[in-house]
């Protein structure tokens, strides 16, 4: 009812305020935690933040020529480990990282020993191809069904059809946007500036 007030025992209010304050104190994270997370994120892609040097343990060297070659084709970008990482981070920013994750899983799968094919094929299928997969890739029904049949008797090529579709999707859709993205252009500009020094 409007205008009605409920009175409470002041002792109860005092206890309630105190418990809320305690909850806030427990939830507050120390400054060092934020700094550690920030340092960790910077170390993941040290070459994207100007003025931040990569950790000595990784000793990442990236040349302007390598980065410029990434613009020649998606194949050249994916042939470079750092290129895969940078493109993967770009896809994460677009909420489509499942594409590169699936493509890389297929590349790894092709190198799998024959006695491990069945186990790995099941994992890839459940993670990316199955209609209820958490990271379901965007392929047509026919390809999904065809892949499901192929993994029953897995071969190193059972994901080739789906992998080709995803590669084409990245090549025609995500890759051109990546080349125009701030992520790629900033990296290119930073390397060009460093090469002039």
pLDDT of the residue at 62? 85
What is the pLDDT of the chain when averaged over all its residues?
79
Question: Which position has the higher pLDDT, 45 or 155?
Answer: 155
Asked if residue 36 has pLDDT above 50, the reply is no
| Mean pLDDT to the nearest integer, 82-103 | 97
Using the predicted structure, report yes or no on whether residue 133 has a pLDDT greater than 80. Answer: yes
Query: Among the residues of the chain, which ranges form H helices?
Result: 10-27, 31-44, 64-69, 74-78, 81-93, 98-110, 117-124, 141-150, 160-169, 175-180, 182-196
Q: What gap in Å lies between CA 157 and CA 176, rounded to an integer? A: 28
> Domain locations in the chain?
64-196
| pLDDT confidence tier of residue 95, bands split at 50, 70 and 90 | very high
- Give the span between the Cα atoms of 78 and 86, in whole angstroms: 10
Q: CA 40, 32, 97 angle in degrees (round to 5)? A: 25
Give residue 46's pLDDT: 41
- CATH class of this structure's domain 64-196: mainly alpha
Structure tokens at 128: 């990316």
pLDDT at residue 45, rounded to an integer: 44
């Amino acid at each position: 009812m409007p205008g009605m007030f409920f009175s409470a025992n002041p002792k109860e209010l005092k206890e309630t305020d105190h418990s809320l304050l305690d909850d806030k104190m427990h939830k507050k994270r120390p400054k060092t935690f934020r700094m550690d997370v920030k340092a960790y994120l910077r170390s993941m892609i040290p070459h994207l933040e100007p003025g931040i040097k990569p950790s000595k343990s990784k000793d990442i060297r990236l040349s302007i020529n390598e980065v410029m070659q990434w613009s020649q084709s998606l194949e050249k970008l994916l042939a470079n480990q750092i290129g895969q990482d940078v493109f993967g981070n770009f896809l994460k920013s677009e909420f489509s990282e499942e594409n590169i994750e699936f493509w890389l899983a297929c590349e790894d799968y092709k190198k799998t020993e024959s006695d491990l094919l069945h186990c790995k094929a099941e994992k890839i299928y459940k993670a990316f191809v199955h209609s209820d997969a958490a990271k379901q890739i965007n392929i047509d029904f026919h390809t999904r069904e065809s892949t499901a049949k192929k993994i029953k008797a897995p071969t190193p090529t059972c994901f080739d059809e789906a992998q080709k579709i995803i590669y084409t999707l990245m090549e025609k859709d995500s890759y051109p946007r990546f080349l125009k993205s701030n992520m790629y252009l900033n990296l290119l500009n930073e390397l060009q500036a460093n090469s002039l020094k």
